[in-house]
Chains A and B, each alone.
Chain A
Amino acid sequence: MKKKRIVALAMTAAMCAGLLAGCGNDSNEGGSTSEDGVVTLKWVTVGNGMPDNYDAWLEQVNPYLEEKIGVNVDMEVVGWGDWDNRRSVITNSGEYFDILFTDQTRFSSEVSNGVFLDITDMLQETTPELYELIPEDYWKAVSSDSKIYGVPTMKDNAITEYFVWDKDIADKYGIDINAITDFDSLYPALQKIKEGEGTAPFFMSKAGASVLIDMNFDDLSSGSKVIGVKYGDDGATVVNPLDDPDILANLETIHKMYSEGLINGDAPTADDTNKYHMLFIAQGWSGAAKTTWGPNFGIANCEAVQFGDSVMCNKTIQGSINGIYSGCKNPEKALELLQLINTDTKLRDLFYFGVEGEDWQYTDDNKVERLETDWALAGYTQGNTYIVSQQTTEETSQWDEVIALNDAAVRSGLLGFSMDTSEVTTQLANCNAVYEKYYPELFTGAQEPNALIEKMKGELETAGWDELCAAAQEQVDEFMGK
């Protein structure tokens, strides 16, 4: 009577196969075109979830788009916390979309996975205006093998780091914050404050001073902090940033600060919460002290002083990219939409601020007055931020400063180079594991840096750092040889 069981098994298997065939179907439902030739494009992006007044917004946006370029949009706004999982299932499951927002954390792996369409030729043919608008360096940063895979967003594309101060506290102790532009000069100031206030003046989250690596090294778009090429190194030697004497010197200072209680004791585990801090490190631009940091961290008189240079490499430019799906049925239309949002102020404002008349309105001098501030779409993810209308609350456009910072930034010699990590995935993952394990205690000064770095290097060696470095160097040399 084994037969019965075999029959039952076979039936189950057949059912499975039948059902599988059902969902293995490649005919995705997306890319619909209505009778009058209007294409609906699905744009997947991140934000605060779907907005409540989404339908009202569509009623404003779609007619406008239809008139201009004959498309409609269908937005899918995924909440920040769901983003990692959701984008991974969407891209890997072959679910249909036209445009997907992406950034430096995943761009290169998505490109090598085949998620995005090569738009190099189409850019110049279909949307020359867009191609002209965005600087060539930016296009390089979103290329792989000289093929362009996405449209970068013009925003703060260089990174600049700041000491963000509560000015009132600094004044109380007679500290000239503008003279403090590195950790060494910061040290005596902190001691002075600590003596008076009794609490740790310098707030660090677990990321600590790990920006020191980003500020000094191009990570080759590998997503790793343990290999990099130093800015200004014309020979383009791949090294371990942890070997860098400058970084070590800084870490020693920071360790001193931590030991003396100048840095919050819980730094190795702390998050960047919206609590009041007297002083912390942040990335952005100085104007943000008034508009963002001050209000968010409860600092009445907030001021930011730059330390280090602004730097620009692939990673910093890739902070916001919109890519077109490799299976997109209307890639030209999708590109036209991306062009329009990068050039048309009216459309840009609709995406940035929400429903006109409900979330915001134009004033007589063409500024935007925000009526509600809880619009769920994230403005920086969409397109050119420079053409967003100035808000009534701003005296000057904050973007002027950003543009100046971008122009002044130190540029990596490896713009346009992104490392192909597919041969060394295991080594890369294991080296990253070593870094992940120790970085909070290293960069917040909780541990003595010399000994810890030695320990990390020992573990990196067994994790295959040498192979990783050799592979990177080989690719870099090839790139530089071109």
Chain B
Amino acid sequence: MSKKNKNADMAESSHLNKISQPTNIGFNILFILIALICVIPVVFVFMISISAEESIQMNGYRFIPEVFSLDAYKFLFDEGEMIIRALGVSIFVTVVGTVLGVMLTTLMGYVLSRNTYKLNNFFTMIVFIPMIFNGGMVAQYVVNTQLLHLRDTVWALILPLCVSSFNVVIAKTFFKTNIPESIIESAQIDGASQLQIFGKIALPLAKPLLATIALFLTFGYWNDWFQSSLYITDQKLLSLQALLNSIQRNIEMMANNPSAGISMVEYMNSMPREGARMAMAIIIIIPIACCYPFFQKYFISGLTVGAVKG
């Protein structure tokens, strides 16, 4: 117990005991190693992005380039307008999509978690079937373009991704295990409607869940390029990841089609070079890494926060 007094940090989180010091050091060393394994590739990508194009051409990728050059970043700076627009699209899609997705996911998750609900089985099926079966790319394309007219709109990047049965099941399980039936029943006796219970009781208790779902959605939207490759022709609507991916795949396609011969080689020349692509990969990681701590406080801040008391 004396340790508690020594450490103010610990006092806050009402966690009364700690792991022993050697264990703590051991864990730290382990995590430092893991963190290194995760960061070195990023450093590697960064090193390529500041290598001179000639040294990539001659020696392939190296950790320490022979000749340094900031050309890649200069190139991106020259294309600044395009990059900033793409960043804007990425942010808009991610924010709107995440908000919408969290709403839809938790609503459904909450409904499914209510055992006494009559249509529970029916809605479980509604969620379960799409987890297994999907109509395929062409059918989705037909519905999205010919019925919903989403082609070349920002909604084509947002709507198709905002609910996933995976997330709904996570939400359902969370509500079911972490929100005691007794609270809900007593609220009902007080005359609260389900909407009130959901908004005033369930959601405030489900902050870690909201953060988890929001995080999954945010990362999903930020990383997505496939929607863009199907639905977006207008270059103004390309997100950052879509921009990088389209360049990447353009090059890949040409590199894998030597039979198309010289006509392809010519077009390869107009593609951004390796350095520029790597610089873009760096630019994609930075904003999202900066936003992670925002979610993080719900996962790691004192272990008891958010838990249900009695």
Contact = CB atoms under 8 A, between A and B. Distances in A.
Residue in B137, B230, B250 with the greatest tally of chain A CB atoms within 10 Å: B250
B37 interface: no
A173 interface: no
Contacts of A298: 54, 57
B259 A86 contact: no
B131 interface: no
B142 A23 contact: yes
Contacts of A283: 258-259, 261-262
Contacts of A331: none
Contacts, number: 144
Contact of B229 (A47, A86, A275, A282): A86
Given A89-B137, A284-B262, A292-B262, A9 B252 contact: no
B1 interface: no
Interface in B267-305: 267-270, 273
Given A23-B146, A288-B265, 16 more contacts: A5-B122, A8-B119, A12-B126, A48-B270, A80-B249, A85-B230, A86-B229, A86-B230, A89-B138, A93-B145, A93-B146, A103-B260, A274-B273, A282-B262, A293-B265, A319-B260
Contacts of A81: 229, 245-253
A50 B246 CA distance: 12
A379 B250 CA distance: 16
Interface in A398-418: none
Contacts of B142: 23, 93-94
A92 interface: yes
A214 B229 contact: no
Given A23-B147, A81-B229, A276-B58, A214 B255 contact: no
Interface of B: 54, 56-58, 60, 118-119, 121-122, 126, 137-138, 141-143, 145-147, 229-230, 233-235, 245-256, 258-263, 265-270, 273
A78 B249 CA distance: 12
Residue in B138, B147, B260, B263 with the greatest tally of chain A CB atoms within 10 Å: B263
Contact of B147 (A19, A47, A89, A103): A19
A454 interface: no
A159 interface: yes
20 contacts: A22-B147, A23-B143, A50-B233, A79-B229, A79-B249, A80-B249, A80-B267, A82-B246, A86-B229, A92-B138, A93-B146, A156-B261, A156-B262, A211-B259, A271-B252, A272-B254, A272-B255, A274-B273, A282-B258, A283-B259
A25 B60 CA distance: 53
Interface string A1-38: 10011001100100000010011010000000000000
A59 interface: no
Residue in A12, A25, A50, A285 with the greatest tally of chain B CB atoms within 10 Å: A50
Contacts of B233: 49-50, 76-78
Contact of A380 (B235, B245, B249, B263): B263
Contacts of B273: 274
A232 B147 CA distance: 54
A364 B250 CA distance: 37
Residue in B118, B138, B252, B261 with the greatest tally of chain A CB atoms within 10 Å: B261
A25 B250 CA distance: 34
Interface in A314-371: 319-320
Nearest to B126: A12
Interface in A66-106: 76-86, 88-89, 92-95, 103
Nearest to B255: A271
Contact of A205 (B56, B255, B263, B270): B255
A49 B229 contact: no
B24 to A, nearest CB: 44
Interface in A148-187: 155-156, 159
B263 A378 contact: yes
B121 to A, nearest CB: 7
A141 interface: no
Nearest to B269: A296
A12 B125 CA distance: 12
A373 interface: yes
Given A81-B253, A82-B249, A85-B230, A374 B57 contact: no
Given A85-B229, A319-B260, A274 B268 contact: yes
A148 to B, nearest CB: 23
A79 B250 contact: yes
Nearest to A214: B259
Nearest to A6: B122
A17 to B, nearest CB: 13
Contact of B262 (A8, A76, A80, A285): A285
